Amino acid sequence: MDIDAKDLEERWRTDAIGDLDLARHILKMGKHTRAMFFVHLALEKALKALVIRATGKTPPRIHNLLVLAERAGVALDDERQKFLSTMNHYQVAGRYLQIAASGIDSSDAIQDLKTAERTFEWLINL
């Protein structure tokens, strides 16, 4: 596929910013599972922008943040790796109702959003 990689990377990045903003609004509504789903989506899109930068190709249709980080060539420390793994759980919980996202209370969601914002900022600035 012949793509304008620079343009596509920027489109993914811009959409990621919008999804993170939406997650903030959803969290204010008290919808913790949905908010964390959109936090995951924002991180996923930020990583897919980096995959485009690294490969010059359309990113794969996968949702695993750890796999995307690897394909983008992003080196993760243990803390970020653990956090992205947690975010992967939220993505699955948001897609499949039979997988309970128990334990996502307001304080957990707020803390995870703050960590996601720092992680997101780091990814965007790579």
- Report pLDDT for 74: 99
pTM of the model: 0.94
Residues 6+ positions from 100 with CB-CB distance below 8 Å:
93
Alpha-helical (H) ranges within the chain are 5-28, 32-55, 65-72, 78-95, 106-124
Q: Report the pLDDT averaged over residues 88-115.
A: 84
Mean pLDDT score, 78-85: 98
Using alpha carbons only, give the angle 25, 31, 34 rounded to the nearest 5 degrees: 85
Range of the domain at 25: 5-124
pLDDT of residue 1: 43
Q: Confidence band (pLDDT; 50, 70, 90) for 2?
A: low
Q: What is the CATH number of the domain that holds 113?
A: 1.20.120.330
The pLDDT tens digits of the residues spanning 8-48 come to 999 999 999 999 999 999 999 999 989 999 999 999 999 99
- Round to whole Å and give the CA distance between 52 and 13: 11
Q: Taking residues 89-107, what's their average pLDDT?
A: 78
CB 67 within 8 A of CB 88: no
Q: How confident is the model at residue 93 (pLDDT cuts 50, 70, 90)?
A: confident
Of residues 3 and 32, more confidence is placed in 32
Reported as a single tens digit per residue, the pLDDT across 40-79 is 999 999 999 999 999 999 999 999 999 999 999 999 999 9
Number of domains in the chain: 1
Report the phi/psi class of residue 118: left, alpha or beta, with left for phi > 0 and alpha for psi in -120 to 50. Answer: alpha
